[in-house]
Each structure stands twice: as structure tokens, then as C-alpha cells.
Structure 1
Amino acid sequence: MNFWISLLGAALAVAPGPLRAQKTVPKAVPATIAGQLSEVPDSTTIAIFEAMPGVPMNYFFTDGPNECVVRGGRFSYRLRHAEAGFVRYGGKVVPHGVSFVEPGAHVTFTLKPGVGNAPPTVIFGGTNAAANNLIEQGKLLNGGPPDGERIANVLAKAPTAKTALASLQAEMTAPKALLFTALRQRQISQRCYDVLTAEVEQRLLYWSSNTLVGYFKAPDKANPALQMPLAEARQLAVALCTQYDPSLPRYQASPLSNQGMVAALREKGGLPGPAPTARAWAGYAAQFAQVNSAMARYDYLPAAAQGQAMGNVILTALSLNAMSAADFARVFADYRRMFPASPYVPIIARALPRAPATPVVASQNQTFGQLAPGTRALAFAPAPGLDTVRTLAALVRQQFAGRPVFVDFWASWCGPCIAEFRYEPGLHEFASKNGIEVLYISVDQPGYRGKWAALAAKNGLRGYHYLASPAVQESLKSVIPFIPRYMLFDKSGQLVEASAYHPSDGEKLYQQLRERLKRL
């Protein structure tokens, strides 16, 4: 998967000079994002991806808990870092989107239901709302494939590098004018204007480079076909990558990771430069195959650009659990040796998966265990038939025959799930007095087994634990639209409550359990 294609982005123009703009708030105060989601059910989770100190937002990775839960049709999230840049938000019932934030900002949005089969739309309010609505409407060269096709057609008609560059730059006139107007009317801050202007330029570089890479790879098969000769196309690539070089400080906030496009242009001969003498990243093609199919190109970048680009690729691989803990350790060792001062180093170090202390035997149960009172680690015993389980009901009947079961669905990446763990002592006390077993089911990927087991122990989650198999997770997709989610099965294995109250609801939950199990 070419991960940079999925980015949503924002945009704008050149700084217009000393115009008075929307007042900028204090630097050190993190921003907040709040939403009005009137038709979204309670307990729906909203994921927030934000920029981290020294690095732009990664479209997939988040450094720590990054979710908030909808209550009463609303949610509110305070960013963890006071960084200016882009934030991505999304969820199963909320359209994926991007907005610009700066320290101290208060960004709000309302989810407007779609008419008929149309998807819902987002309307921004609060700080820099005018710019964020332009982003949401795709007005800043961030409208997806149609923008890419238009830029490609501009290139196809140009006979020379000079005419192509002029035509491409003309494509930025409309989005820059929109942002200039918003700045002049004091609807956005100067900082917002500067960052979005830079992002428009990076959008132009991305779409243009995407077309040029195809041309340099196979001139006779390029689609669309370019009129200009290869020599002119090379001149254009140099002009674009010089003027809009993603390594320049003005582009530090961009999440586009256009270093990958520059690397591709170098690899295909579109940019001058010697072939790499060291092939550090080409050797990791198999390990990164799930997130990037062209690792060899990163060896063509100069050191500074390579450190930035590969730091971003590693974060993407971590978020998607793309390789084993041992492979991640080897990749990171090479990266830290080559770029010891990179701001990505501490972020990657915190996120690295830990290898299990003892090797896992193929036939040994390592996904269904128990944390007993007073113990500090999950205990795993043989679980005959566990590998044949395909549904939640089958698991409950097989492992808990004759006992009622309260089920807590969670994941290591789910902040609201983990926030509920503080209320578990009360739940455990109630369950113990009423003969109810507590089963925690994680929907983490198999590669997160170590993190799953460690978090269960760290939070003192007494009871049974199951790292759901791919088959069970597939069966849950239609019945568990969001987490955290809680269910109750009676002693015959029948589901008697499909959406129980949360542990934080305290007595409301306990009364519900009594009623469902007819316990007075």
C-alpha cells in the first residue's frame, strides 16, 4: 500500500504581508477539539491523530491514547501536544477528516446527516473555522483523485518545462485566493494561513510528481501521455523539487511525506544525483511489504531527508503491526545508528513491541488466560478446543459452562476502554458476590500479544482474558460496531444483554445485571 496516497491534507498561498489576522493564542496551551454528533449513539469512539513534538502528523500512528467517547451526542478531546499542524479524526460513524490546529485553539465541528444515500458532512466552527471548512470541502488541492487528474492533464498539454511550471502554479491561484480572503477578513490566523499555503504547494508537488514518476518509469506507457520530451520533464522535476523541496522549514507541518515522491523521482532518473552506495532500506523490503512496496527508493535520499522519510515509514509500520518484534528491533537499531539525533527516535523507542520473554510454542495456548488476585501476570493453561472456536457464543459455552459471564471488549489502542479500567475494582467485587465471571476480550492483532498481556496485568484486570482470534474478530464485526462494549451471558450461555452499561456507571450497571440475571 502506498500510504501517502491516503492522506487528506489542507492548503493555501504565499504570506500576504503585515495584514492583521485572527489573534494567535498562547504557544504552550494544547488545543481542544469538540464535536456535536446528534445522531451518533453513546459510547461511539472518535479517534484523534495529532502531530508530535518535532514531527508532523502521521496518518496512521498516534503516540499514546488518542480516543474520546461520545456522550449525549457530544465529545471533547484535549490534544496531548501543543504543536501547530494537522489533526486527523475519524470513526465508524464519523467521516474521516483533517483540520488545522494551533496551540490554544478550540476547534468545533457539527456532523450534519446526509440526505438519502449521501454521506454525512462536517461543518467546522471555532478557531480557524473558515480554513478548516475549505479543507473539508476539498477546495485546497486536497479534493482527491479529481485534483490529481486535473494536474496530470495540465502536464500532458505542456510542451516545455517552463510552460508546465507556469500552468501548474496557476492551479494554486484559486485556493490561495480563498485563504487570502479569509486572512484579510480576520477569519483565520497568520499561522494558519502560512501552514495551509505551504500545504497547497506540497499538494501540487505530490500530484505533479506522481505523474512524472510514471513518465520516467515508462515514457511510452505513461497515462496521460506527456508532450514534452524527457529532457524537459527532468528540468520540470528539478524546478518543482527545488522550489517546493519538502525538506524546507516552511513545510515542516505537512503530513504528506513528499520525501517519498522525491525519492521516487531520483530512483527513476528524473532528478540528478549518484546512485546510492549503501542499500540500507532495500534490504528491508520484505518486512515493510504491508505498508510500502518500494523501500529501495529511500536509499536515494540524502541523509537528512532519509531520516525524516524513514522515521515516518517506521511509524506507519508500527501502527499497522507490519512485522515481528524482532524485525522491528533490527530496523530500529539501524535507524538509530544512522540518525541518532532524529526526533523520531524517542517516539519509535516508546512504541516498539516487546518480544515475549519466552518463545511461544505453536501448540501452546497463549491467547486465553487468567489474572488471579495477587498475581502480576496472566497465567496460561491448556485450553482444549480453543483453536476451533469461531464465535463469541461458542467461546462462552466452551469455557464457562454453567456460569454467567460479563464480557468487556477492549483493545490496547482504545483510550476510553482503558479509562474504564479504573472502575474495575467495584465491578470485580459485585461479580464475585453474585457468582459472575468477568471475561476481557481484546480485539488487538495477534502481533500485539505481549502488549495485550502486559496491559491486562498492569491494570489489575482480575478475571479471564482472551485475545480474539482472527475468526472470532471477523464474527464480531456485525455485532460490535464500537468499543468499549459490554455484554452479559447467563449460565446457559445465552446472551441476555447486548449493550450493558459501563463499569463507570456503577450502580446502574449492577442493577441492570441483577435484572438480567433475575438476582434480587
Structure 2
Amino acid sequence: MKYWISLLGAALAVAPSLVCAQKNALKAVPAVISGEFTGVPDSTTVAIFEPLPGVPLSYFFADGPNEAAVRGGRFSYRLRHAETGFVRYSGKYVPRNLSFVEPGARITFALKPGAGNAPPTVVFGGANAAGNNLLEQGKLLNGGPPDGSRIRAALAGAPTATAGLAALEAEAATPKALLMAALREHQISQRCYDVLTAEVEQRVLFWAGQALEFHFQNPAKANLHLQMPDAEARQLIQALCARYAPTLPRYRYSALGNLGIVAGLRAQGVLPGPAPTARTWAGHAPKFEQVFGDFGRFDYLPAPAQAKAVGDLMLTALAFRTMSPVDFAKVAADYQQLFPASPYAPLMAKALPKEPTALTKAGQNQTFGTLAVGAHALAFAPGLDTVRTLAGLVRQQFAGRPVFVDFWASWCGPCIAEFRYEPGLHEFASKNGIEVLYISVDKAGFREKWAALAAKNTLRGAHYLASEAVQESLKSAVPYLPTYMIFDKNGQLVEASAYHPSDGEKLYQQLRERLGLR
């Protein structure tokens, strides 16, 4: 998403070579992001997902290390690429929304404690702080479901396509006015204004397109209550997709996957377009079920749009390891053949393992292991994973011993935040003959990350990467993460919702009571 940079004609006329030199120098310098966290423990990790060359933003994929640790209440991270676009943060004490970056910028943010029981807030400083604070505060149609509800109400109340388009433009007018005021006060750059204004327009398409796509799929379930007839609704979505087409140059940095909406509307026949001559992506749809439920719709997009939309989802699949390397290599080969010049292709090639790892050898169990005192990696027991239920695992592996079970996942920030309280838990468990079992509900493709995090956080005890069968059996028993359970020495569940390790003595007293300890 991007408007081309607006430069003053006079400046170009007076010193074109100087302006070009300054632009090139600026582009060569990556942005720096730093944060101030009052009262946040050291070693708290901040993950940063930055725009990559030719790729606007992958919400989950990072081309290399992208973490910074808090030290002395501060952290600093230098982006590895000098790119314009959006940055996403992941962590307990970081911005909830995206922030805008441009080459050479220095961006700061500070965690501000909330008044009373109010949660803490994040306030941006540095370059384009006004724009990033609008993003953080959800004032650019990025505030979540309430914005979607307003867009739906604007659609429902319009009697014609023309009136609907005007109502949607009115919804975009307020955030655009906020950005214009910031530009006039020299609080944001022209580039920041262009990119954030374009993002507002893509938010309009996102909320409205999502509602209308669902309406055309199933009017009863969509519950949109349109005043306009369907013929007018079709005219409206066609006009909206033409005006805010995600493939337009000014939207090249958009962080939204609106091409999926366009593809769905074309597949339904709501938007005009030829039928696909090949169903490449429909053939790969089963492999992408965990990433996108209707992957075959992308066959209906023109080739350039396919390259971007499918590329985005392939990076997501890589990040979450939702398929085997062999399956992913097959999809990547088709992608490379269709789009050899795509900037996504080298990212996929770099991320794919060059040869099968020992972890995939037949007959080798790599899902149940232990981390011993002083060890730096999990040690795995021989044999295949035959466990089908949690109770079966406890009885099979810990006969005659009580067990404290910690359910977690590599993507669960609150789970990982609890790990810093593990030393106290382990001391209590060791003194009282209690085993500690960590059960991860990650997908199988996250096996390496699961094992690495267990070692990194020194989680001494037993570890199990739950199979699909066990995860299915846990759906009702573990509704959220983290969850903690206590089993007695007979393998009987005596506490289904135990206190957290951070609760300290409350947990230890609960263990004494449930297990009959003195």
C-alpha cells in the first residue's frame, strides 16, 4: 500500500541530484525501534515482524532472528531491511496494533501504567509518533469489531449502491481528517500520511467486503439486513473493489489480506472475471486448511494478484509449519514455476530445509522427552507415540507418582511468561516427590521450536508434544492456555484448574491439599 512520495516541484527544479542522493541515502538506512518498560522484568522477550524486501508484512513469518530482550526496562531493535511498511509486535508489553516505519526512522514507545485498574497503555514517540499513536489507539478503522459493526450498519441503512458508497466514504472521512491534521502540523511525514490513508481505505474494503461476501454466501446467517436489493449490493461491491482494488500501486504496503475477499467474490460470480483455466491452488487446498479454509478461491485471481495472495499464505504456512517439508516443497515448486520473479520465491527457498532431518526418521519417537538438570536439550525415549488420552499418558509414564501438568504452546505469550516462576515450582515439586509434565498443544510442524523453547526456558521435567488424538481429547478439558492440572499417584485427576506457578504459595498449598502432603 503506497502513494508515490510527493516531492515539491521547486525542490526538484533547484537540486534534483541532491534530492535523489538524499533519497538513496535514506533508503539505505534501516529503522531503529526502541521501547521503555517501567516495571517489566528483564529477559522479557519482544518479537518484531518487519517488512521484507518486496513483501509488505507477514504477520507471522520472519526471515531470520527477530527478537529483542528487555534489559534494565528497555529494549532496542534495528530492522534488518531498509523498507517502508508496517511492523507487528508480539509480546505481553508491546503495542496491540501495527506501527508504520520508513527507512532511517527512529521509533520509540513507552509502556504507561494505567490509572486504577485500567490496563497499561503504549505511547509512541520519535518519527511519525502521531500516526503510530492513532494506529495504537485504533482510530484508523483498525479498532476491531466495533469498527466492523459501524461499517455493517452503514451498509444496512443505505437504500442504493450510490448511497452505500457515500456512507462508506463518510466512515473513512474522520480517520482521514485526523491524518491530514497531523500532516499539516508536521507531526507525520508525507509518506506516512499516504500509507496510513491508504490503509484506512483498505480497512473500508475489509469490513464491507467481508460483510457482503458473507451476505452473498448465506443471507440468513449473514444477518446484514440490507435495505438495498441484491442487484444494488452487487453494484456497490463492484464499485468498492474497483475504487480500492488491493492491486493498485498505492496499496502495495497494505497489511490486510483483502485479495482473499476479492478472490471469494470472483469465485461466487459477484465480481466479474473469467473462469480459471487451471485449478492449481484448489489441488493444494487440503494442505492449507489450517491457514485458509478456501485456498482454491485464489485460482480466480489474475496472475499478479495470485502471486501476492498465495505468497502471503505460503509464508504463514511456513511460519506455523502446518504441513510437512515434503508437501510444502511441492506447493513451492508450483509457485516457483508460475511466478519465478516473485519476491516470495527466494524467501520460501531459503526457509525450506535442504534435506530431511533426523526428526522425521521412521520409528523414532520425537514427541516425549525429558530435560534433566544441567542439560541443554531434550532427551527422547525410543519408540513410537501410542498415547491417546492424557490419563493414559500419566499412568503410562508416571505410575505411582503424583504429577503437575502444565499445558502450553509456543505461540502463547501468557504461558511463556509463567516460565520465569518455574524455579520455585521445581524446588517444591522436588522436595515433595511430584513430577512436572509440560504438554504442548503446538502443531507437529512446530516440533523444533517446541523443543528449543523447552531448553531455552530450562523447563526441567517431562515434555510431551501432544498428538492430534490427544489434542482432540483435550478440547473440552483445556478450553484456554495456560491451564494447569494435578494428578495423584494413582493417575486420578484431582484438580482440573490448578493455580498458576506465579501464584506461588497458593499453588503449593493447593498441591498439599489435593495430594495429601504434610
TM-score, scaled to structure 1: 0.70
The residue identity in structure 2 corresponding to 1:351 is A
Higher helix share: 2
DSSP-derived class of the 1:109 partner? strand
Change in Cα spacing, 1:120 to 1:16, as seen in structure 2 (3 Å) is same
CA contact (8 A) 1:50 1:86 kept: yes
Is structure 2 residue 331 aligned with structure 1 residue 331?
Answer: yes
Letter in 1 for 2:205: L
Q: 1:41 and 1:339, CA in 2 relative to 1: closer, same or farther beyond 3 A?
A: same
Partner of 2:148: 148
Other-structure match for 1:261: 261
Letter in 2 for 1:224: L
Deviations 1:160-185 (A, max 9, x none): 11111112112111111111111111
User: In structure 2, what is the equivalent of residue 164 of structure 1?
Assistant: 164
8 A Cα contact 1:19 1:184, kept in partner: no
Contact 1:356 1:450 in 2 (8 A): no
CA distance, structure 2, for counterparts of residue 67 and residue 379 of structure 1? 26
Look up the match of 2:348: 348
- Code of the residue aligned with 1:447 in structure 2: it is G
Partner of 1:136: 136
- Give the direction of change, closer, same or farther, for the CA distance of 1:75–1:478 in structure 2 (3 Å limit): farther
Q: Confirm or deny: 8 A CA contact 2:34 2:74 kept in the other structure.
A: yes
Question: How far apart, in 2, do the equivalents of 1:358 and 1:72 lie?
Answer: 38
Q: Is the 8 A contact 1:13 1:176 kept in 2?
A: no
Report how far residue 366 of structure 1 moved: 7.2
Residue in 2 that maps onto 1:40: 40
Report if aligned partners of 1:55, 1:343 keep a CA contact under 8 Å in 2: yes
380-389 or 73-82: which moved more?
380-389
- Which residue of structure 2 aligns with residue 103 of structure 1? 103
Contact 1:90-1:97 at 8 Å conserved across structures: no
Give SS of 2:318's match.
Answer: helix
Q: Distance in 2 between matches of 1:144 and 1:469?
A: 33
Output the CA distance in 2 between the equivalents of 1:127 and 1:134: 13
Give the direction of change, closer, same or farther, for the CA distance of 1:169–1:385 in structure 2 (3 Å limit).
closer
Q: Do the aligned residues in 1 keep the contact of 2:47 with 2:67 (CA within 8 Å)?
A: yes
C-alpha deviations, 1:390-413, integer Å up to 9, x for none? 69x979x9xxxxxxxxxxxx989x
| Other-structure match for 1:509 | none
Matches within 5 A, 1:41-80: 41-80=41-80
CA distance in structure 2 between the partners assigned to 1:202 and 1:365 by the alignment: 44
Cα contact 1:12–1:200 (8 A) shared by 2: no
In 1, the alpha carbon distance for the partners of 2:9 and 2:130 equals 17
Match of 2:420 in 1: none
Please state whether the residue corresponding to 1:170 is helix, strand or coil: helix
Contact 1:321 1:447 in 2 (8 A): yes
SS at match of 2:48: strand
Structure 1 residues 344, 362: closer, same or farther in 2, change over 3 A?
Answer: same
Distance in 1 between the 2:447 and 2:309 partners?
Answer: 29
8 Å CA contact 1:16–1:180 kept in 2: the answer is: no
Q: 1:30: which partner in 2?
A: 30
RMSD value, Cα: 4.3
Rounded Cα–Cα distance in structure 1 between residues aligned with 2:123 and 2:450: 37
Are 2:183 and 1:187 equivalent residues in the alignment? no
Q: Which moved more, 1:271-280 or 1:465-474?
A: 465-474
SS where residue 313 of structure 1 aligns?
helix
Query: Match of 1:172, SS?
Result: helix
CA distance in 2, matches of 1:54, 1:143: 27
| CA–CA separation in structure 2 for the residues paired with 1:385 and 1:342 | 40
CA contact (8 A) 2:364 2:382 kept: no
- 1:81-104 CA-to-partner distances (Å, cap 9, x unmatched) read 110110011213435331101001
- Three-state SS of the structure 2 residue aligned to 1:171 is helix
User: Residue 370 of structure 2 contacts residue 379 of structure 2 at CA under 8 Å; is this kept in 1?
Assistant: yes
Aligned positions of 1:85-484 closer than 5 A: 85-353=85-353, 355-356=356-357, 360-362=361-363, 364=365, 368=369, 382=382, 446-449=444-447, 469-470=465-466
Q: How far is the alpha carbon of 1:187 from its aligned partner?
A: 0.8
> Aligned partners of 1:82 and 1:390: how far apart in 2?
51
Which string of whole-angstrom CA distances, capped at 9 and with x for unpartnered residues, describes residues 278-331 of structure 1?
A: 211122222111111111211111111011000001111111111112211111
Gaps of 5+ in 1: 1-10, 371-376, 398-409, 418-440, 480-497, 500-520
Superposed displacement of residue 467, structure 1: 7.2
2:199 is matched by which residue type in structure 1? Answer: E
Contact in 2 for aligned 1:176/1:197 (Cα 8 Å): yes
- Partner-residue secondary structure (3-state), 1:88: strand
CA distance in 1, matches of 2:366, 2:66: 31
Distance 1:312 1:466, change over 3 A: farther
Match of 1:508 in 2: none
Amino acid at match of 2:104: G
Residue-pair matches, total: 423
SS at match of 1:146: helix
Q: Distance in 2 between matches of 1:385 and 1:250?
A: 51
Distance of 1:476 and 1:332 partners within structure 2: 33
SS in 2 for 1:53: coil
| 2:367–2:385 contact (8 Å) kept in structure 1 | no
Q: 1:270 to 1:476 in 2, by over 3 A?
A: closer
- In structure 2, the partner of 1:84 is 84
Q: Residue type matched to 1:182 in 2?
A: A
Decide whether aligned partners of structure 1 residues 394 and 41 sit closer, same or farther in structure 2, where only a CA change above 3 A counts. farther
Distance in 1, matches of 2:204 and 2:166, equals 12
Name the structure 1 match of 2:516.
none
Deviation of residue 470 (structure 1)? 3.7
Contact 2:370/2:463, CA 8 A, preserved across alignment: no
Q: Helix, strand or coil: the match of 1:75? A: strand
Q: Deviations 1:440-480 (Å, cap 9, x if unpaired)? A: x9988542456889999xx9xxxx9997534999999579x
Distance 1:26 1:14 in 2: 16
Alignment identity in percent?
57
Task: Give the Cα–Cα distance (whole angstroms) in 1 for the partners of residues 135 and 149 of structure 2.
Answer: 19
* Structure-2 change in CA distance of 1:365 and 1:316 (3 Å): closer
SS in 1 for 2:304: helix
Question: Structure 2: where are the runs of 5+ without partners?
Answer: 11-21, 372-376, 402-408, 417-437, 472-477, 485-500, 503-518
Question: Contact 1:360–1:366 (CA<8 Å) still a contact in 2?
Answer: no
Give SS of 2:163's match. helix
Structure-2 separation of matches of 1:478 and 1:220: 37
The code of the aligned residue for 2:281 comes to W
CA distance in structure 2 between the aligned counterparts of 1:276 and 1:289, rounded to whole angstroms: 21
Deviation at 1:362, TM superposition (A): 4.0
Q: Which has the higher contact order (CA 8 A, sep 6+)?
A: 1
Assess if the C-alpha contact under 8 Å between 2:68 and 2:77 holds in 1.
Answer: yes
Residue aligned with 1:40, SS: coil
Q: Is the 8 A contact 2:158 2:228 kept in 1?
A: yes
Distance verdict in 2 for CA 1:326–1:292, change over 3 Å: same
| 8 Å CA contact retained: 1:32, 1:107 | yes
Measured in 1, the distance between the counterparts of 2:394 and 2:92 equals 24
